[in-house]
Structure 1
Amino acid sequence: MRPDSVTQPGPSRRRSARLRDDAIRWITRRHAHDGEQAHLGRDRIYILPTRAGYTLLGIILVMLLGSINYANNMAFLLTFLLVGIGHNAMWYTHRNLLGLQISTLPVPPVFAGQPITLPLRLTETAGRAREALVLCIGSHATAPFPVPARGTHSARLDLPGLARGIYRLPRQRLDTRYPLGILEAWSWLTLNPEIVVYPTPIDPGAATGGTGEDDPHTRDRREGEAPDQIRPYRPGDPPGRIVWKAFARSGKLHVREAAGGQGDRLWLEWDAMPATDTETRLSMLCHQVLAAHSEARAFGLRLPDQTLDPAQGATHRDRCLQALARFRTDGVELDPGPAT
């Protein structure tokens, strides 16, 4: 979705959001940055009544006034019974978060526009099960989930797709209304997993109306060089180089290799992309990286500020995609939308 297609909040709502953020920063100023793991102690848990809790509190006050006015012992008994239930609910709600450990898990990289899944691991060490926990980032929240006694649970929060780049996670919130829903306890987290968003792959041939075949500027072998050689198959040779026609004739596996044993190497070059804007060039290079890897070809990547030597394998592919995602960009904080 384009940023200019999103309805922007009004000035009053923006001011309210800024005041709320300033208040949260002031309240949590004594908390150290969590990094990769957070432990919820008593000084990090906040608790307030919910709307239902305030309603119950009002009813209790009316019942107390009525009991005093009519000097009714049974009414006093019922009023103090409700007060006791509310007091115990406060203790249980606060205890449902106390002592939890929350740690980050690697966030799988995605391509631009694809939804992001944020995994966090919650660990229970006090020997009591935790119920109805909710993880929130802005307006996005998980469904309520439990954590077993002395066990772990991996919570997964789905976030909308983003543009290419490197993102930092904003402030997170873990809350619960267990057991009665009349009180809400929560804690603010500042875990910092890195979110990597690759460019959207665009076929250079399809974008320019061509065939999509290798551009002569990207090939390592030039005209006038020796043609490919055919040699017997060796264990570990990529399937993409097998000469299937030779196998059909002789029943033996052979592979194609460039003269000198260099293999079918490619150079994927920034200047060779048929585009002028940065994002389109990165998207075209992303497509070529994926295509070269799927064909098990050795390839290198040349960017204006970085060169990756030819290699093969998933590790090299990921290095190239990481270089494209990080090209001329610094990590920015993800905008999850207004908090609920």
Structure 2
Amino acid sequence: MRSGKLNPARGPGLAARWGRLREDFIRWVTRRHHADGRRARVSRDRVYILPTRQGYMLLLILLVMLLGSINYSNNMAFLLTFLIVGIGHNAMWYTHRNLLGLKATVLPVKPVFAGTAPVLSLRLEETDGRPREALQLAAGAKAGPPAYVEAQASAEIAIVLEPRPRGSYRLPRQRLSTRYPLGLLEAWTWLTLDSEVLVYPVPIPAASAPAAAAAGDGEAATVPDATDAIPDEIRDYRPGDAPNRIAWKAVARSGRLFVRDSSAGEAAPTWLDWDAIQGSDPEYRLSVLCHWVLEAHASGQPFGLRLPGQRLGPDTGPAHLGHCLRALALFGRPGSRPA
């Protein structure tokens, strides 16, 4: 005898199949659209419009009103029915025009650490001389709040994406929609604005690491600490110097910014080495190296990074920090994957 219980796997399986069918249908509909790159303009052939749930309900009511008007030959009922139809038709024109001609530009997505949700921001520009209201941006399963763009102006609209593991991703397809002015119809357009979403490893504190990094040719070294730097002279502050090296007593006496110039620059730079970390889990090693890189950058001392098959020479500054974190994010994952 068959059991009356439902298979719990049927629900998610059906939802997954429906999601795949929906994506295939969207790709078929938008196959004639070219890739947008970092900037796009909403033209007539990219705007789609359909009634909302309230719109379909109004259509049903109008159908009943029309049948009643025909049955009773009531001129006032005919007048009211066609008056509402005219209002709905005018609302369709306004809804379609609210998207037409908008220019959208994707802003750079700030890199995040694994487990943190990245933020997608678009700049919407209005050049036709009329305000745009009730604009909503969606990407994947995430949707943002309604936005407003003034005439001959621009506005930024942001949406929080889903957290991702370590790696590099492309932006998911974006959907810009509006239900202005009555909410009876929804007009939308599909955008494929492109920007990289870079996700760094989660930094693990160095205290949890069983071993420190190794220095240059067989010379042992520990993770750099800003308190170990011994100043031997004072020089003028330069942009990029670590704040913890500012000589505050000299600043108080002269009113100018001075920093302590350490003699560590003459010594061998610190190397953060993959092989200096015990453990077989690559993600654990990358997380420890990520923490070491952040500490080394905060100390202001030159440091280098050694990974299997890759070596980043010793340097300082935000650019070197970005290169090291990017190498950790992309290690073992060449190329980009769709988000």
Q: TM-score, normalised by structure 1?
A: 0.85
Judged with a 3 Å threshold, the aligned counterparts in structure 2 of structure 1 residues 175 and 159 are, in CA distance, closer, same or farther, namely same
Deviation (angstroms), 1:125: 0.8
Equivalents in 1 of 2:98, 2:263: separation in Å?
63
Task: Give the aligned partner of residue 338 of structure 1.
Answer: none
Task: Give the aligned partner of residue 166 of structure 2.
Answer: 164
Instruction: Report SS of the residue matched to 1:310.
Output: strand
Task: Give the aligned partner of residue 28 of structure 1.
Answer: 30
Task: Give the aligned partner of residue 269 of structure 1.
Answer: 273
Listed as ranges, the matches of 1:141-152 within 5 Å are 141-152=143-154
Instruction: Report SS of the residue matched to 1:17.
Output: helix
Which is further off, 9-18 or 158-167?
A: 9-18
Indicate the percent of aligned positions where both proteins have the same amino acid: 54
Equivalents in 2 of 1:240, 1:202: separation in Å?
22
Instruction: Report SS of the residue matched to 1:16.
Output: helix
Task: Give the aligned partner of residue 217 of structure 1.
Answer: 214
Instruction: Report SS of the residue matched to 1:179.
Output: coil
Asked if structure 1 preserves the Cα contact closer than 8 Å seen for 2:169 and 2:337, the reply is yes
Instruction: Report SS of the residue matched to 2:214.
Output: helix
Asked if structure 1 preserves the Cα contact closer than 8 Å seen for 2:214 and 2:270, the reply is no
Of 277, 290, 293 in structure 2, the residue corresponding to residue 289 of structure 1 is 293
1:190 maps to amino acid: T
Judged with a 3 Å threshold, the aligned counterparts in structure 2 of structure 1 residues 89 and 229 are, in CA distance, closer, same or farther, namely closer
Task: Give the aligned partner of residue 91 of structure 1.
Answer: 93
Task: Give the aligned partner of residue 126 of structure 1.
Answer: 128
Deviation (angstroms), 1:32: 0.5
Q: Is 2:330 the counterpart of 1:326?
A: yes
Equivalents in 2 of 1:54, 1:216: separation in Å?
66
- The C-alpha deviation readout for 1:153-185, integer Å capped at 9, x for no partner, is 111101232111001112111111100001010
Judged with a 3 Å threshold, the aligned counterparts in structure 2 of structure 1 residues 9 and 320 are, in CA distance, closer, same or farther, namely farther
Deviation (angstroms), 1:220: 7.6
Equivalents in 2 of 1:9, 1:262: separation in Å?
65
Judged with a 3 Å threshold, the aligned counterparts in structure 2 of structure 1 residues 184 and 230 are, in CA distance, closer, same or farther, namely closer
Deviation (angstroms), 1:262: 1.9
Equivalents in 1 of 2:282, 2:207: separation in Å?
17
Judged with a 3 Å threshold, the aligned counterparts in structure 2 of structure 1 residues 216 and 300 are, in CA distance, closer, same or farther, namely closer
Deviation (angstroms), 1:256: 3.3
Task: Give the aligned partner of residue 231 of structure 1.
Answer: 232
Listed as ranges, the matches of 1:1-80 within 5 Å are 10-80=12-82
Asked if structure 2 preserves the Cα contact closer than 8 Å seen for 1:268 and 1:302, the reply is yes
- The C-alpha deviation readout for 1:259-313, integer Å capped at 9, x for no partner, is xx52572111111122221111111110000001111111011111211111111
Q: TM-score, normalised by structure 2?
A: 0.85
Q: How many residues get paired?
A: 313
Judged with a 3 Å threshold, the aligned counterparts in structure 2 of structure 1 residues 132 and 234 are, in CA distance, closer, same or farther, namely same
Asked if structure 1 preserves the Cα contact closer than 8 Å seen for 2:139 and 2:172, the reply is yes
Asked if structure 1 preserves the Cα contact closer than 8 Å seen for 2:139 and 2:175, the reply is yes
2:179 maps to amino acid: R
Of 173, 176, 179 in structure 2, the residue corresponding to residue 174 of structure 1 is 176
Deviation (angstroms), 1:111: 0.6
Equivalents in 1 of 2:89, 2:165: separation in Å?
48
Equivalents in 1 of 2:185, 2:172: separation in Å?
25
Of 301, 305, 329 in structure 1, the residue corresponding to residue 309 of structure 2 is 305
Task: Give the aligned partner of residue 104 of structure 1.
Answer: 106
Equivalents in 2 of 1:298, 1:269: separation in Å?
14
Instruction: Report SS of the residue matched to 1:233.
Output: strand
Asked if structure 2 preserves the Cα contact closer than 8 Å seen for 1:220 and 1:265, the reply is no
Instruction: Report SS of the residue matched to 2:235.
Output: coil
2:19 maps to amino acid: A
Asked if structure 2 preserves the Cα contact closer than 8 Å seen for 1:112 and 1:200, the reply is yes
Task: Give the aligned partner of residue 140 of structure 2.
Answer: 138
Instruction: Report SS of the residue matched to 1:234.
Output: strand
1:308 maps to amino acid: L
- The C-alpha deviation readout for 1:79-129, integer Å capped at 9, x for no partner, is 010000000000000000000111110000001111211111111111110
